Amino acid sequence: MATVRTRFAPSPTGYLHIGGARTALYCWLYARKTKGTFILRIEDTDLERSTPESVQAILDGMAWLNLHYDEGPYYQTQRFDRYREVIQQMLNSGTAYRCYCSKERLEQLRENQMARKEKPRYDGTCRNLMEPREGPCVIRFKNPLDGMVEFNDLIRGRLSFANSELDDLIIARSDGTPTYNFTVVVDDWDMKITHVIRGDDHINNTPRQINILCALGATPPLYSHVPMILGCDGKRLSKRHGAVSVLQYREDGFLPEALLNYLVRLGWSHGDQEIFSINELIDLFEIKNINRAPAAFSQEKLIWLNQHYMKTSDPEHVAKELAWHMEQLGIHTEHGPPLTEIVRAQAERTKTLREMAERSRYFYESVRLSDEMKSHFSPEIMPALMMVKSRLEKLSVWSKELIHEVLASTAEIHGLKLGKLAQPIRVAITGGTVSPPIDMTMVLIGREQVIQRLNSFLMLTTPHLLQ
């Protein structure tokens, strides 16, 4: 059996979207499972809509997801000479021909066919011209007139198409630029692609591409057409359903492995298992286990998976992703606790890395108390806060255990429940009412900052007690 060669071939006319990322993942997994080759090909022949920014967004999205390719990226715009060579070869062999029909004639032909309730298609007017003519022309593929195109879709089973339903499609425009269905065929042929895994919106392209491959004397690859992803309303996933860009999910605070785990389950399954490591996916993935039915996207399920990975992954790994979010929010972490400690403290309390970063700003920055926050303090609590500050200043070791002892014994001395004392301290040192356990929070903020913030708060609220 030939070495498996798969390809992911996005068009750079926008970001790398969720559907494309899932297709890339399936291609990548199958190549890794079979010890084959995964190729990235940028199909940028749409010169008006393709942009360098979109290319970079695709590359960045693939890199963030760790879907590393073995070959590429190949760019179709760098292969125009090869396409011209194959087109000339087909003209010489009679499998392609020049069509001189005007745009006006083709539009009239289409209108007449639709009026007769016929499927619009080219009528073959120029199909048998023997001599070239003057004037602009396109190049059409001479599709077989009869017979069937049949192939075994590895997801959908046997599919058949009548050649009489396929017209002579244009393979080169009047300006000489090649069209999508032609460039895909030449690329798959030249790159020795053995397995094409792509969205089911390409099913109607497949018989046309198979016919061109056969006309070139090439063996078609095996095809698998993946069903679309639906939104929660049952309609095709789009911007109205929320973030659909891979990089948007990074900005929203998702771990790449959580997104991959979620995407692979949008249409593929292995029993009832929900959580998979990458190595497990490589070992278990089979194209035949991809479901034929569309999958519905659930933001809630993705959030659940993301929190699972935040809690169970190596804190060093999560901290690397968290560092990116801290930088995006302008939070400088050079002076303060290691981000691994922030992950350990906050993973149970937050659902995304962005939320974790936003809720951890006070570990690295001084806080400002609003008038609303001052309402958490009553005159009765001030003596206890003064004692806490004084006793904290005298601690020989800044540890969670000793801090807890200071808080607990001070609360007991003043006849307070520990929570009654802890909450105003939390507000004073974090600027908010929510944080990890107060002793852990104080350890992470550090002795100097805790005492400074307590002192600042006391000066602000009861300066007469410090005089």
In the set 35, 117, 192, 239, the catalytic residue is 239
By CB neighbour count within 10 A (0-12 exposed, 13-18 middle, 19+ buried), where does 249 fall?
Answer: buried
Q: Is 103 a catalytic residue?
A: no
Q: Residue 464 — φ and ψ, nearest 5°?
A: -65, -25
Cis peptide before 256 (omega within 30 of 0): no
| Amino acid present at 438 | I
Query: Measuring CA to CA, how many Å separate 116 from each of 102, 104, 167?
Result: 22, 19, 17
Token pair 């974090």 is found at: 430
CA nearest to 65, candidates 236, 202, 306, 259:
259
Only one residue has tokens 């390719």, namely 69
Burial of 456 from C-beta contacts in 10 A (0-12 / 13-18 / 19+): middle
Type and span of the H or E element at 357: helix 353-358
The Cα 271–Cα 289 span in angstroms is: 10
The SS3 call for residue 161 is strand
Question: Where would I find the beta strands (DSSP E) of 232-298?
Answer: 295-296
Count of helix runs (H) and strand runs (E) in the chain? 19, 12
Tokens 């069903």 belong to: 227
Return the active site residues: 239
